[in-house]
Structure 1
Amino acid sequence: MKLALALVFLFVSFSTAVAQTKQVLFENVRILDHRASALTAPMNVLISGNTIKKISKSTIAVQDKDLVKINGEGKTLMPGLIDVHVHLVFGALTMSQMMTSDLSEEFLVDRVGESARNMLMRGFTSVRDAGGPIFPLKAAIDKGQLVGPRIWPSGATISQTAGHGDFRTPEERSRRFSGMVSRAERYGATFIADGRDEVLTAVRENLRFGASQIKLMAGGGTSSAYDPIDVTQYTLDEMKAAVEAAEDWGTYVMVHAYTPRAVQRAVEAGVKSIEHGQMLDEETLKLLAEKNVWLSLQNLMDNNDNMDEQRKEKRKPVLEGQDKVWPLAKKLGVKLAWGTDFLFEPELNDGQNSYILRLQKWFTNAEILKMITQDNGELLQLAGLRSPYPGKLGIIEEQALADLLLVDGDPLKDLSLIANPEKNFLLIMKDGQIYKNTIGKK
């Protein structure tokens, strides 16, 4: 069963939509104010439909028999969390599960659907999917057939032959020589595209299915078999082709890259977001700051015993580099975003929130909270008219989208509160709908 076809099964397998509430009034909440890096005085916040309609210190009078009133008891109202580098499908599965020949519909529904729901229940109301067969899952969530975060989809990654997205097994020959499309391409995981014409087709194919941005592999990776971490992938002309095709649709290209050479080529081609970049030097970081290119970084865990030796070796320079690149990028004024990038290790998902705390080595609590809400939201909306959810995200102000968390405590003083969402996130709202509400039930 092809993965892409199996995922379509998600459309008819769940019926878990939350009924749309007409209006919700939060009373006596303290709002996380990014501008002041502080909580406001007690406020009242009216939600109408999927947007924040009014914020006031005074009582908000509403004539609506269906109004839901929530006494916030002076607790913190903050924007929903945003992760700008996830793989919702591949993050829910192990590599061995992906490679099995009997990947059933029921198994995918169980694993991928549950993983998406759990991500929302951890407080992540929006994510950018950085590659994979995501379109059926996103459609099912948007239709209310599944519960999960808003998704900015990239679709299949675009990779050169022997690039980071070339997932062929040793016996799979290039389709140019064998005429056979690889298994990963059939599943919608990747496009192996060489030359300007094939890159244009791959980009346009993803846009055809609803990609909000394009994911291109521009350098070696740690989880791929064929490409050393130091290699540069795609010629300048090929990369420019991807950028031109994306810009014609009003959106942008994000690239997987670690090294200065790969990133400098990507910037020259017009790429707007660099994914990873832990091996970058000061010269390249200054270039990113000068060109207003986003650096979408992760803070990875050390190698574990279950990793194969090749991957451990490839990860060494990346792990060594991240302690240098985060503070240097901050010092140089690079536009920084944060994501997790869990891939084929489902056990990591439960720790998604705790990875945020690892940023405390380099940033204040206020800076971290702004990065994982407002700044990440700004990066999402770089998709322009291709953004599936127009509107302001990551900030609490009138007319912004109503993606909200009610937190039991002050995360500015104690950031560890967000690492235990089951206990401390009393209410989770996405798009004006309440998915969790335990306020007053403790």
Structure 2
Amino acid sequence: MEMQASHGQTRVAGWRCICHSPSFLRLNARLSEALGEAPEPSFGLPSSSHDIVPREANAANAATPAAAAGGSAPASQSAAQTASQRGASAASQPHPPAVAFTNIRLFDGKSKTLRSGYRVIVSGNTITAVEPDDGQKLDGMQVVDGGGHTLMPGLIDAHAHIMMTSLPMNQLMVADIGFIHLAAASEAERMLMRGFTSIRDMAGPAFSLKKAIDLGMMTGPRIWPSGAMISQTSGHGDFRMPYEIPSHPGQSLSRGETLGAGAIADGTAEILKRAREQLMLGASQLKLAAGGGVASSYDPLDVSQYTQDEFRAAVDAAENWGTYVAVHAYMPRAIQTAVRGGVRCIEHGQLMDEGTAKLLAAEGIWISLQPFLDDEDAIFFPEGSPSRLKQIEMSNGTDTAYELAKKHGLKTAWGTDTLFDAKLATRQGAQLAKMARWYEPADVLTMATRINAELLAMAGPRNPYPGKLGVIEAGALADLLIVRGDPLANIQLIADPASNLALIMKDGRIFKDTLGVAFN
């Protein structure tokens, strides 16, 4: 736009649309190439899409060539720190030469025991071979000597809230959305450094963070986003103040809706619209609130939310896009109504009964359970508060829920559902290790790898990362960890990732390496 002065006033001389300017076309080409789309003419744009990453990130990556080749880091940095810094920009770089993992014990996500005498070959972002290790030199490959430690698939948290994990609720209610995104990006990197290479995000505006991670602008896990949790008035996702009721047409959105954490909808027409909005934004699955919750203010645990027809509206929207609906629910009536409405996954379910478990088994419905106990990992609520009383009632049902899930052979996923607490977020691995209260360690790790990956794959064509995850086999995506020691013998190794994760690979790129990569 050009401005010209006339008789002491400034007027618009004319608009020049930027849509066909060289700078705009270069930016569009970068984004198109990075997203795998057919690029527009480059107009001199560098050919590799990683150039979209800020120059400082590439400089930081180039600053550690010795570490990349297995050399020593500067004295002021630990090997793990150097590897983490290298990984922060690794996703923006072309894939390295093929990598061979040797001298390992293998947990493949399928077997109940570790296997020795094998090597695993990774080319690009894919595992190309799991084969007997004959000791033959592998020319031209990077070689990781696992030191006899355990190679296993990357961990998957099937119920995460990356946008709300580390900030207290009172901050989330007032903070600028930019600050929330920055806090979430920081937490995403820490999550990957804990060995969680994939998460299913079950409410929150995670779309932009996911895109930034996928483009290599940020470091973090793969994200299957649900977008805003759809909730009825007075439901688990309604965090409005009483003075905002009664609502009226044209009323401003609530804080939770403005952030994209929740979407309040009543009746099939509104639910259908809100469901389609989340799919438009990029949801890989939908999340609805089906019953009372702990953190919410207006819904006792026994309250059922939405009718069968209302669930069906969301399910119809999801199925039209080839994906599914999951719901927050604890109580039998809430769970059963959701299942009759076509819902395919129940989140929580701590207070289900025998009849409900039988229904889930008969219909092949997933249950995504969390190890909620009244212990050091419980989200803090003031003693005597309504939320605290609900929390105690809910967590008292956890043992029974796991017993029913095992008795009836339910498809059971694992997740943390950590909210509002940065310190609690650091215990993600500890909460997985806690599952040994109900399962053998091999079953715990299988649940957090192969089984959780099967749940992720239910997104069908909305799966943002086509390919097999959660297993180590030829053709699977290369999300891998090396754990010092034997986690099948000592599941507590997972609880201390800083000490016990020697290597972290996501999508064929190494983000942490304390072993050193050598070249043959």
1:318 matched to 2:390? The reply is no
The answer for the alignment partner of 1:103 in structure 2 is 176
Return the alpha-carbon distance in structure 2 between the equivalents of residues 404 and 359 of structure 1: 21
How far off is 1:181 after superposition?
Answer: 1.6
Return the alpha-carbon distance in structure 2 between the equivalents of residues 143 and 438 of structure 1: 26
Q: 1:109 to 1:189 in 2, by over 3 A?
A: closer
1:23-78 deviation line (CA, Å, top 9, x unaligned): 211112121144431111221111011110011114476554xx321111221100
For residues 12-411 of structure 1, the aligned pairs below 5 Å read 15=57, 16-18=88-90, 19=93, 20-59=95-134, 62=138, 64=140, 67-100=141-174, 102-103=175-176, 105=178, 107-173=179-245, 175-177=247-249, 179-302=251-374, 306-308=380-382, 309-411=385-487
Return the alpha-carbon distance in structure 1 between the equivalents of residues 458 and 512 of structure 2: 29
How far off is 1:95 after superposition?
Answer: 0.7
| Alpha carbons 2:165, 2:418 under 8 Å: kept | yes
**Aligned AA for 2:338?**
A
| Alpha carbons 2:109, 2:470 under 8 Å: kept | no
Return the alpha-carbon distance in structure 2 between the equivalents of residues 173 and 158 of structure 1: 18
Return the alpha-carbon distance in structure 1 between the equivalents of residues 280 and 431 of structure 2: 34
1:403-426 deviation line (CA, Å, top 9, x unaligned): 000111111111111111111110
Q: 1:114 to 1:383 in 2, by over 3 A?
A: same
| Alpha carbons 1:218, 1:262 under 8 Å: kept | yes
Q: 1:156 to 1:62 in 2, by over 3 A?
A: same
Unaligned runs of 5+ in 1: 1-10
1:86-125 deviation line (CA, Å, top 9, x unaligned): 000011211111122x5263x3354211100000000000
Return the alpha-carbon distance in structure 2 between the equivalents of residues 33 and 25 of structure 1: 16
**Aligned AA for 2:347?**
E
1:419 matched to 2:495? The reply is yes
| Alpha carbons 2:230, 2:288 under 8 Å: kept | yes
How far off is 1:177 after superposition?
Answer: 4.8
| Alpha carbons 2:104, 2:147 under 8 Å: kept | yes
Return the alpha-carbon distance in structure 2 between the equivalents of residues 93 and 35 of structure 1: 36
| Alpha carbons 1:296, 1:337 under 8 Å: kept | yes
| Alpha carbons 1:30, 1:76 under 8 Å: kept | yes
How far off is 1:343 after superposition?
Answer: 1.3
Q: 1:422 to 1:177 in 2, by over 3 A?
A: same
The answer for the alignment partner of 1:6 in structure 2 is none
**Displaced runs of 4+ in structure 1, greater than 4 A?**
11-15, 59-63, 303-306
Return the alpha-carbon distance in structure 2 between the equivalents of residues 148 and 313 of structure 1: 35
Return the alpha-carbon distance in structure 1 between the equivalents of residues 110 and 475 of structure 2: 17
Return the alpha-carbon distance in structure 2 between the equivalents of residues 50 and 174 of structure 1: 53
Return the alpha-carbon distance in structure 2 between the equivalents of residues 280 and 334 of structure 1: 13
Return the alpha-carbon distance in structure 2 between the equivalents of residues 280 and 21 of structure 1: 49
**Aligned AA for 1:391?**
G
**Aligned AA for 1:93?**
L
Q: Secondary structure at the match of 2:100?
A: strand
Unaligned runs of 5+ in 2: 1-52, 58-87
Per mean C-alpha deviation after superposition, the further-off stretch among 166-175 and 87-96 is: 166-175
| Alpha carbons 2:467, 2:476 under 8 Å: kept | yes
Return the alpha-carbon distance in structure 2 between the equivalents of residues 265 and 109 of structure 1: 35
**Aligned AA for 1:56?**
E
The answer for the alignment partner of 2:35 in structure 1 is none
For residues 420-439 of structure 1, the aligned pairs below 5 Å read 420-439=496-515
Q: Secondary structure at the match of 1:344?
A: coil
**Aligned AA for 2:323?**
T
| Alpha carbons 1:166, 1:192 under 8 Å: kept | yes
How far off is 1:440 after superposition?
Answer: 5.7
Return the alpha-carbon distance in structure 1 between the equivalents of residues 269 and 137 of structure 2: 60
| Alpha carbons 1:13, 1:109 under 8 Å: kept | no
Q: Percent identity?
A: 49
How far off is 1:166 after superposition?
Answer: 0.7
TM-score (structure 1 length as normaliser): 0.93
CA-based RMSD: 1.9
1:271-316 deviation line (CA, Å, top 9, x unaligned): 1110000000011001111111001000124176951311111112
How far off is 1:347 after superposition?
Answer: 1.8
Equivalent pairs, count: 427
Q: Secondary structure at the match of 2:346?
A: strand
